[in-house]
Structure 1
Amino acid sequence: MGEFNVYGVYVPTLLIQGLVAYILMLIVIRYTDKWMDQGSDAFLGLFNFCLYLVLLLLVHWGFVWSGF
């Protein structure tokens, strides 16, 4: 994977990908909360965890294909 050098501090690429996925998850959760209030999912924590993993996969895929 690699790392980025930010003013002499090496930042892992996976950390940046995780932060981007978390920000995207906060945006997506605003829209999925309407479904959760209706009771369409019994395990909200598991749903959010799976949503985060899918977003992390998409962000990682974007990093790999963009050449970072």
Structure 2
Amino acid sequence: MGEMNIYGVYVPMLLVLAAAAYAVLRLIMRLLDQWVEQGWVPMPSVFYLCLYVILLGCLHWLHTAVF
């Protein structure tokens, strides 16, 4: 998968992708909190965990497809 050199420190690319997926998740959570409050999502924590894993997979696929 690779590494990224940030000011002389090698950071695993999976860590960078995980941080980016979490940032995107926090943005999406603001939009989906209305559904959670209305009761459309029965188990929000499991829903958000699944959404995070899907986002991380999509970012990983996008990273491997582009680079």
Q: TM-score range by the shorter chain?
A: over 0.9
Query: What is the aligned length?
Result: 67
The normalised TM-score by structure 1 is 0.93
- Rounded Cα–Cα distance in structure 1 between residues aligned with 2:23 and 2:7: 24
AA at the equivalent of 1:58:
C
Q: Which residue of 2 aligns with 1:54?
A: 54
Structure 1: tracts of 5 or more residues without a match? none
Measure the CA separation in 2 of the matches of 1:13 and 1:20: 11
CA-atom RMSD in angstroms: 0.7
TM-score, with length taken from structure 2:
0.94
- Distance in 1 separating the partners of 2:6 and 2:37: 42
Cα distance in 1 for partners of 2:66, 2:43 equals 35
Runs of 4+ in 1 over 6 A off after TM superposition: none
1:1-68 equivalence runs, <5 A: 1-67=1-67
Q: 1:6 Cα shift?
A: 1.4
CA shift, 1:5, in A, is 1.2
- 1:14 deviation in Å? 0.1
Q: Secondary structure at the match of 1:41?
A: coil
